[in-house]
Amino acid sequence: MHCRRRTVQLTLTTSALLCALTTAPGRAQTTTPLVLGPNASALDRGTFTSYSPTISADGRRVVFSSSSNDVVPGIANPFALPQVYLLDTLTGVTSLVSATATGSPCDGRCEDSAISADGSTISFVSDATDLPTLPLTGGREVYVYGVATGALSLVSIALNGGLSDGESFDPVLSGNGRFVAFTSRAANLVLGDNNGFHDVFLRDLVLGTTEWISTPRISGLSGDSVSASISADGTLLSFLSDASNLVANDPPSTFDVFLLDRAHGTLRVVNTTPSGAFANAPAQLPRLSQDGQWLVFQSSATDLVPGDTNGAVDVFAHSLTGQVTFRVSQTPLGAAPAGVSDLGYPSPNGRFIVYRSTASDIVAGDANAQADVFLYDMLSGRTELVSVSTSGVQGNLSSDFPQVDSSGRMVIFQSRSTTLAGPVIPNTSNLLVRDRGCVVTRYCSPSPSNAGCGAAIVGSGTPSATPGSSFLVSATSLPRERNAALVWGLAAASSPFSGGLLCVQFPLRRTLPAFTAGAGGAACAGSFVFDFSANYIGAQGLAPGTSIFCQVLARDAGGPNLALSDALNFVICP
Q: Which tens digits make up the pLDDT trace of 364-417?
A: 999 999 999 999 999 999 999 999 999 999 999 999 999 999 999 999 999 999
For the domain spanning 442-571, the CATH number is: 2.60.40.10
pLDDT digits (tens, 9 = 90+) for 240-288: 999 999 999 998 889 999 999 999 999 999 999 999 999 999 999 999 9
Q: Cα–Cα distance between 320 and 263 in angstroms, integer?
A: 14
Mean pLDDT (whole number) for 329-355:
97
% of the chain at pLDDT higher than 90: 83
Per-residue pLDDT of 358-379, as tens digits, reads 999 999 999 999 999 999 999 9
pLDDT at 25: 53
Burial 92-129 (b: 16+ CB within 10 A, else e): eebbbbbbeeeebbbbbbbbbbbbbbbbbbbbbbbbbe
Reported as a single tens digit per residue, the pLDDT across 206-218 is: 999 999 999 999 9
pLDDT category of residue 46 using cuts at 50, 70 and 90: low
Secondary structure string (H, E, C) spanning 296-359: EEEECCCCCCCCCCCCCCEEEEEECCCCEEEECCCCCCCCCCCCCEEEEEECCCCCEEEEEECC
Q: How far apart are CA 26 and CA 570, in angstroms?
A: 8
Cα 187 to Cα 63, 125, 192, 196, distances in angstroms: 30, 18, 8, 7
Dump the DSSP string for 53-113: EEE-TTS-EEEEEE--S-SSTT---TT---EEEEEETTTTEEEESSB-TTSSBPSS-EEEE
Separation CA 215–CA 238 (nearest Å): 13
- The span from the CA of 404 to the CA of 413, in Å, is 9
pLDDT band at 14 (very low <50, low <70, confident <90, very high): very low
Phi, psi of 237 (to 5 degrees): -135, 140
CB 8 within 8 A of CB 324: yes
Lowest-confidence range among 223-227, 250-254, 333-337?
250-254
CB-based contact 154:175 (threshold 8 Å): no
Lowest mean pLDDT among 41-55, 142-156, 375-389, 431-445: 41-55
Three-state DSSP state, 39: helix
Q: What is the pTM of this model?
A: 0.93
Torsional sign, CA 379, 174, 114, 184: negative
d(CA 195, CA 187): 8
Q: Is the pLDDT of residue 12 over 50?
A: no
pLDDT in tens, 175-190: 999 999 999 999 999 9
Mean pLDDT of 307-317: 96
pLDDT in tens, 538-574: 999 999 989 999 999 999 877 788 999 999 999 999 8
Give per-residue pLDDT as tens, 129-167: 999 887 777 789 999 999 999 999 999 999 999 999 999
How confident is residue 23, by pLDDT bands cut at 50, 70 and 90? low
Residue type, 342: D
Q: What is the structure's pLDDT at 507?
A: 95
For residue range 65-92, list pLDDT tens digits in order. Answer: 999 999 999 899 998 999 999 999 999 9
pLDDT-derived band at 26 (thresholds 50, 70, 90) equals low
Task: Say yes or no to pLDDT of 21 above 80.
Answer: no
Give Cβ neighbours of residue 491 (< 8 Å, ≥ 6 apart). 12, 504, 505, 549
Query: In 3-state terms, what secondary structure has residue 537?
Result: helix
Higher pLDDT, 182 or 26: 182
Domain boundaries defined on the chain:
43-350, 442-571
Neighbours of 15 (CB within 10 A): 15
Give the torsion sign (CA, 411, 416, 421, 422). Answer: positive
CATH numeric code, 43-350: 2.120.10.30
pLDDT band at 203 (very low <50, low <70, confident <90, very high): very high
Whether 29 has a pLDDT exceeding 60, the answer reads yes
| Residue 47 confidence class, pLDDT cut points 50, 70, 90 | low
pLDDT of residue 48: 63
